[in-house]
């Protein structure tokens, strides 16, 4: 007889534990951008900001911590200016690529 594990008994997954370096962060953002979902992008930037330290990212972006939390919460739709400021504070940039390879 096997022991069954209930989903409720599993620990919550926290992606911030895996965002340890710039390469991991870039790969995470690339995957998120491929989903073409602005709310998911905002949430992912929030994950990265939490991994790096929300207070430090808020200072570097010129936003208050509260404004940063609001802008990067799940289902948020931050303005491009906010996304751009947060990306700069995180040390990443968004890059355009053709939809189909040339």
Total domain count, the chain: 1
The mean per-residue pLDDT over the stretch 18-40 comes to 91
Whether 16 is covered by a domain: the verdict is no
Whether 7 is covered by a domain: the verdict is no
Q: Given this model, what pLDDT does residue 102 score?
A: 62
Residue 78: give the domain boundaries: 21-90
pLDDT band at 1 (very low <50, low <70, confident <90, very high): low
The mean per-residue pLDDT over the stretch 75-91 comes to 93
Whether 101 is covered by a domain: the verdict is no
Whether 82 is covered by a domain: the verdict is yes
Q: Is the pLDDT of residue 101 over 90?
A: no
What's the pTM? 0.82
The mean per-residue pLDDT over the stretch 5-9 comes to 83
Whether 73 is covered by a domain: the verdict is yes
- What secondary structure does DSSP assign to the chain, as a single string? -PPP--GGGSPPP-GGGG--SHHHHHHHHHHHHHTT-HHHHHHHHHHHHHHH-HHHHHHHHT--HHHHHHHTSTT----HHHHHHHHHHHT-------SS--
Whether 3 is covered by a domain: the verdict is no
């Amino acid at each position: 007889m096997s022991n069954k594990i209930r989903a409720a008994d599993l620990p919550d997954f926290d992606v911030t534990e895996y965002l340890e370096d710039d390469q991991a962060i870039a790969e995470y953002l690339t995957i998120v951008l491929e989903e073409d979902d602005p709310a998911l992008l905002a949430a992912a930037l929030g994950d990265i900001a939490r991994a790096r330290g929300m207070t430090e990212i808020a200072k570097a972006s010129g936003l208050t911590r509260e404004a940063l939390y609001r802008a990067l919460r799940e289902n948020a739709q931050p303005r491009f200016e906010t996304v751009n400021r947060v990306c700069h504070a995180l040390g990443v940039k968004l890059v355009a690529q053709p939809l189909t390879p040339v």
